[in-house]
Amino acid sequence: MAVEKYSRQRESIRKNLAGRRDHPTADMVYLDIRKEFPNISLGTVYRNLSLLAQLGEIQKISVSDGPDRFDGRTKPHDHFFCKECGCVLDFQLTDTDNRLQRQAGKGFEGRIDGQTVQFFGVCPDCLKKQTGKVHVSNENYIL
């Protein structure tokens, strides 16, 4: 695979991911793209998701209990995994990146290129269903 050539399908996949925040699986993307390209195959979706991830234009997120999920956000950020509904939310931790990397790298003779924090718990919606509490906005959680 030498030079990348344009393809309508890949462009559609790229836009689809850029326009959503729900960290879909390959299959979810496939179902969506089929509305525009009824004949697209799941294999093509997988191929393009892999390619885009390699190019750093999207991010692949592996979770322990289901298929991989994909994230259209390019800039580094963190993720929250809800153990109730399985949803994945974005977090942006302010200013901790350098601190973390500096602390971890101190005396480590390998090279650290990047890092992400994975949070686990119960998302606002699921917690609300359990307790009846109200959901308010906050500064780290990115809608």
Which window, 6-14, 30-38, 40-48, 55-63, contacts a second copy (CB under 8 A)?
55-63
The listed partner (DNA, a second copy, none) that binds 111, CB under 5 to 8 Å by sort, is a second copy
How is residue 83 annotated by DSSP?
T
- Partner from DNA, a second copy, none contacting 132, C-beta within 5 to 8 A by type: none
Tokens of 14: 């790229």
Task: Judge whether 13 and 48 are in contact, CB under 8 Å.
Answer: yes
Of 19, 114, 132, 143, the one binding a second copy (CB under 8 A) is 114
Starting at the edge strand found earlier in the chain, the sheet holding 141-142 runs 78-82, 88-91, 141-142
Q: How far is the CB of 140 from DNA (least distance, A)?
A: 28
CA distance 77 to 81: 14
Q: 109 with 58: CB under 8 angstroms?
A: no
Residue ranges in contact with a second copy by CB under 8 A: 60-64, 68, 78, 80, 82-83, 89, 91, 93-94, 96, 99-101, 103-104, 106-124, 126-128, 133-141
